[in-house]
């Protein structure tokens, strides 16, 4: 008996996503995106909770962190973009350094977000 192959989800049924560009404002330069991502995820978990985090589908894009400009990208569901922007307020310390993480902009296409906000 042959194994039944599942059909892929139609594009209209897929969850739509947005790419949020953020900027870290601090006196200290961060070379590792992991530290920044951990602070953002902790702040989002504090604000949204576990269920809100699961619904938002927040994903860090680790290789998209510009060390010179201190900017990076996050992927999130389009319905929860404003919630993620609000949760960035709660990320105020990274490794005992005071920081402000602000939203620079959002895009629906990764390549456009890279060109417009990271370069």
How many domains, in total, are found in the chain? 1
Q: What integer pLDDT is reported at residue 79 of this predicted model?
A: 95
**25-60: per-residue pLDDT in tens?**
999 999 988 999 999 999 999 999 999 999 999 999
**Any domain includes 10:** no
**Any domain includes 9:** no
- 78 lies in which domain range? 17-112
Q: CA–CA separation, 15 vs 30, rounded Å?
A: 32
b/e sequence 35-54, b meaning 16+ C-beta within 10 Å: ebbebbbebbeebbeeebbe
**Any domain includes 105:** yes
**Any domain includes 12:** no
**Residues 56, 2: contact at Cβ < 8 Å?**
no
Global pTM?
A: 0.86
The CATH number covering residue 42 comes to: 3.30.70.3250
Residue 1 pLDDT class (50, 70, 90 cuts): low
């Amino acid at each position: 008996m042959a194994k039944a192959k599942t059909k892929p989800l139609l594009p209209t049924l897929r969850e739509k996503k947005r790419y949020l560009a953020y900027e870290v404002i601090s006196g200290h330069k961060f070379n590792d995106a992991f530290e920044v991502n951990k602070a953002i995820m902790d702040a989002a978990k504090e604000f949204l909770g576990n269920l809100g985090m699961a619904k938002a589908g927040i994903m860090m894009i680790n290789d998209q962190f510009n060390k010179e400009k201190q900017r990076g990208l996050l992927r999130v569901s389009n319905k929860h973009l404003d919630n993620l922007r609000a949760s960035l307020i709660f990320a105020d310390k990274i490794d005992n350094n005071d920081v402000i993480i602000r939203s620079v902009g959002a895009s629906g296409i990764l390549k456009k977000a890279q060109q417009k906000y990271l370069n």
